[in-house]
Amino acid sequence: MTPHQTHLLTVHDLSREVMQSIFREAAQLKAMRRRALPTQRLSGKTLGLFFEKPSTRTRVSFETGMNQLGGQSLFLSVSDIQMRRGESISDTAKVLSRYLDGLVIRSYEHHTVEEWARNATIPVINGLTDLHHPCQVLADLFTVREKKRWLKGVKIAYVGDGNNVANSLLEGAAIMGMAISVACPSGYEPDASIVDWARERAHRTGAAIEILRDPFVAVKGADVLYTDVWTSMGQEKEQARRVKVLNPYQLNERLLASAKPDAIVMHCLPAHRGQEITTAVLDGPHSVILDQAENRLHVQKAILIRLLKDR
């Protein structure tokens, strides 16, 4: 998202400087919200949200963010528009570009959001695909920055399924010069091309990238412990097998005790308590999940301002 960049599809689209700028803007917006100061930066703008998948945090935070910035939003499900009857993404994107100022797309396959971006003449924001979750991870890193004061050199340990969140965390950590250890069973690793990209970028930023099997090795010396659901949307038929294979990767009190004493615990939610994380850890003193969820709102407002304000 350079000054000439229209869309936000992945974290690796961003430079360190752009990410830092988003974080500074988000911090200012959060402070203004705390003081009930108006931030009508997007007055007259309209954001469309097209979601193939259900959502709580992504939908509510984007809709609330546009409202707080003085704009408005329209929610579009696949059952509500003519794509249900076969209208193409290309035609839909071109028409919606005449009505709207920006689009958030929440889809299964990543190439779908790329097709929206190719055909739209307005900014397209990836609200989640099976491969990437950039808005989530930008909010996550903003939260780490709040709690630890900086990012460079901070160690994140991610345990569990190497899914879209793990992929985007690898990209963000590599860009910001962090250390990240991802522990997952064989066959559940993050995307190999993203791991390769992160390792290549790490050579320039001083980041450290590890893909491991043992969760206790991964969390040793960690400042941040992160996990996510073991069965993502669209994988429901694999749930029984996934629970069995991923059970040793549960984020519980024993695993937490192997990290730094002041480590924070993160989960992007929704959580399946008793599976990937225990209730004692999720609700415990190390957990920052509610701050993490709130920060989706502030970081996404910063993204919206960056992409939509001067259009």
Catalytic residues: 106, 133, 136, 228, 268, 296
Contact 253, 225 (CB under 8 A): no
Q: List the Cα angle 174/126/200 in 5-degree steps.
A: 20
| d(C-alpha 123, C-alpha 107), whole Å | 16
| Cα–Cα separations (whole angstroms), residue 37 to 64, 71, 86, 281 | 15, 16, 45, 35
SS (H, E, C) the chain: CCCCCCCECCHHHCCHHHHHHHHHHHHHHHHHHHCCCCCCCCCCCEEEEEECCCCCHHHHHHHHHHHHCCCEEEEEECCCCHHHHCCCHHHHHHHHHHHCCEEEEECCCHHHHHHHHHHCCCCEEEEECCCCCHHHHHHHHHHHHHHHCCCCCCEEEEECCCCHHHHHHHHHHHHHCCEEEEECCCCCCCCHHHHHHHHHHHHHHCCEEEEECCHHHHHCCCCEEEECCCCCCCCHHHHHHHHHHHHHHCECHHHHCCCCCCCEEEECCCCCECCCECHHHHCCCCECHHHHHHHHHHHHHHHHHHHHCCC
Smallest Cα–Cα separation from 7: which of 91, 92, 117, 101?
Answer: 117
